[in-house]
């Protein structure tokens, strides 16, 4: 892949499983927070699947759309858009009542020093949305950050693991889950809590950060010695297909790839691809932020894009000078300060 268009065409190609699931899903789909890193490709993939299935479903994307040309781009792809600030009660109430909600809005980076906004977005807003869409089914994006750091030898963070979030961002995300769970009980609203980490694009993500550091001769910090990742296209597909797996109380679903990956191994593999010597700092901690997604793999199958494919594509992308976003994941963060 050499262009953004080629990348997005690959990332938004729907699988036959997604197409078949959408045939069994009644109603239109409303994506709240479509303007984030994953929302646009999730919407485009879903629209392609709907078209290929010959279905008459609307895809509606909601965001502030405060800058750039994303709104025009989405509409050119057949996705309806609504520009609102979800924290504006009147604007929220004006949204159409749609059967299927994919809730992606939230705040992470910039939490330190602006904690009140993060809590408003991640813990207050969910209650407002849950009341507004009480007659819908909701897939709500959450994060593996609600779990504690876990022993890298056991990777015990399945959906049954007791949560213990570190830092205010992760605490506010648990707040989101608890508030949504309350309204699921109260209003009998079926939901999925979609605990994701980490989605991979060629333009951002854990693998890109490691690859760039290796290619630029920077030291690789080994303290957070293990990580889980999943191709963004696969994570998007899991989210849409999760609409058929909502429950009361909410179904909890960990979402990532099947491997527990060594940061050292990843860096050395990129070193081979770039013909660069890799420099390391620190030592691997016996604990890391990990996510066991075997339940999701049982429901949806293993991801379509493998780790080695992702690494090859990212290395090639950097070699040709492909566009990247300056949006670091801070996956090395162990104290929850984002």
What mean pLDDT comes out for the span 268-286?
96
**Domain-located, residue 208:** no
pLDDT at 154: 79
In this predicted structure, which of 74-78, 163-167, 248-252, 317-321 has the lowest mean pLDDT? Answer: 163-167
Q: How far is CA 128 from CA 60, 76, 180, 278, in A?
A: 19, 31, 10, 49
Q: 60 pairs with which residues across the strands? A: 30, 80
Q: Judge whether residue 138 has pLDDT over 90.
A: yes
**Domain-located, residue 313:** no
Report the share of the chain in percent with pLDDT over 70.
100
pLDDT at 325: 86
Q: Judge whether residue 113 has pLDDT over 90.
A: no
Structural domains in the chain (count): 1
Which among 57, 55, 75, 56 has a CA at the least distance from the CA of 65? 75
**Domain-located, residue 207:** no
**Domain-located, residue 321:** no
**Domain-located, residue 85:** yes
Q: How far is CA 287 from CA 62, 119, 151, 225, 302, in A?
A: 38, 27, 5, 8, 25
The confidence band for 68, taking pLDDT boundaries of 50, 70 and 90, is: confident
pLDDT at 17: 97
Alpha carbon distance 196, 176 (integer Å): 14
Q: Which residues contact 10 (CB under 8 A, 6 or more apart)?
A: 1, 233
Q: Which CATH number covers residue 250?
A: 3.40.50.720
pLDDT at 331: 80
Range of the domain at 243: 4-199+232-256+291-303
**Domain-located, residue 276:** no
Q: Please state, rounded to an integer, the average pLDDT across all residues of the chain.
A: 95
Q: Judge whether residue 337 has pLDDT over 90.
A: no
In this predicted structure, which of 43-47, 168-172, 308-312 has the lowest mean pLDDT? Answer: 168-172
**Domain-located, residue 262:** no
In this predicted structure, which of 17-26, 61-70, 227-236, 241-250 has the lowest mean pLDDT? Answer: 61-70
What mean pLDDT comes out for the span 257-270?
97
What mean pLDDT comes out for the span 275-280?
96
Alpha carbon distance 50, 77 (integer Å): 12
Q: Judge whether residue 173 has pLDDT over 80.
A: yes
Helix axis angle, 206-215 relative to 307-319, nearest 10°? 50
The confidence band for 155, taking pLDDT boundaries of 50, 70 and 90, is: low
pLDDT at 330: 75
Report the share of the chain in percent with pLDDT over 90.
89
What mean pLDDT comes out for the span 152-171?
89
**Domain-located, residue 25:** yes
In this predicted structure, which of 115-124, 232-241, 300-309, 322-331 has the lowest mean pLDDT? Answer: 322-331
Q: 265 pairs with which residues across the strands? A: none
pLDDT at 114: 87
């Amino acid at each position: 892949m050499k262009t953004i268009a080629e990348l997005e065409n690959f990332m938004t190609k729907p699988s036959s499983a997604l197409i078949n699931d959408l045939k069994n899903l009644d109603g239109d789909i409303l994506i709240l927070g479509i303007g984030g890193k994953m929302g646009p490709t999730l919407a485009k993939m879903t629209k392609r699947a709907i078209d290929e299935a010959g279905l008459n479903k609307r895809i509606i994307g909601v965001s502030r759309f405060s800058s750039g040309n994303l709104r025009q781009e989405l509409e050119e792809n057949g996705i309806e858009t609504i520009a609102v600030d979800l924290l504006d009660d009147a604007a929220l109430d004006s949204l159409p009542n749609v059967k299927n909600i994919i809730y992606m809005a939230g705040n992470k980076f910039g939490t330190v020093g602006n904690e009140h906004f993060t809590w408003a977005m991640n813990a207050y807003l969910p209650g407002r949305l849950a009341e507004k869409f009480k007659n819908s089914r909701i897939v709500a994006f959450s994060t593996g950050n609600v779990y504690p750091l876990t022993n890298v030898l056991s990777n015990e963070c399945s959906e049954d693991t007791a949560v213990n979030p570190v830092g205010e961002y992760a605490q506010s995300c648990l707040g989101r889950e608890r508030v949504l769970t309350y309204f699921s009980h109260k209003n009998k609203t079926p939901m999925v809590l979609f605990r994701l980490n980490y989605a991979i694009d060629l333009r951002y993500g854990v693998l890109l950060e490691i690859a760039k550091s290796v290619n630029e001769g920077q030291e690789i910090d080994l303290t957070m010695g293990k990580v889980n990742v999943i191709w963004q296209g696969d994570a998007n597909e899991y989210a849409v297909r999760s609409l058929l797996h909502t429950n009361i109380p909410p179904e909890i679903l960990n979402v990532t790839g099947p491997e527990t990956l060594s940061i050292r191994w990843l860096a050395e593999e990129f070193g081979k691809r770039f013909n660069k010597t890799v420099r390391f700092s620190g030592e691997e901690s016996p604990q890391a932020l990990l996510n066991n997604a075997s339940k999701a793999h049982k429901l949806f199958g293993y991801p379509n894009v493998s780790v080695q494919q992702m690494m090859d594509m990212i290395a090639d992308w950097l070699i040709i000078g492909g566009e990247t976003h300056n949006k670091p994941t801070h996956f090395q963060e162990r104290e929850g300060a984002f």
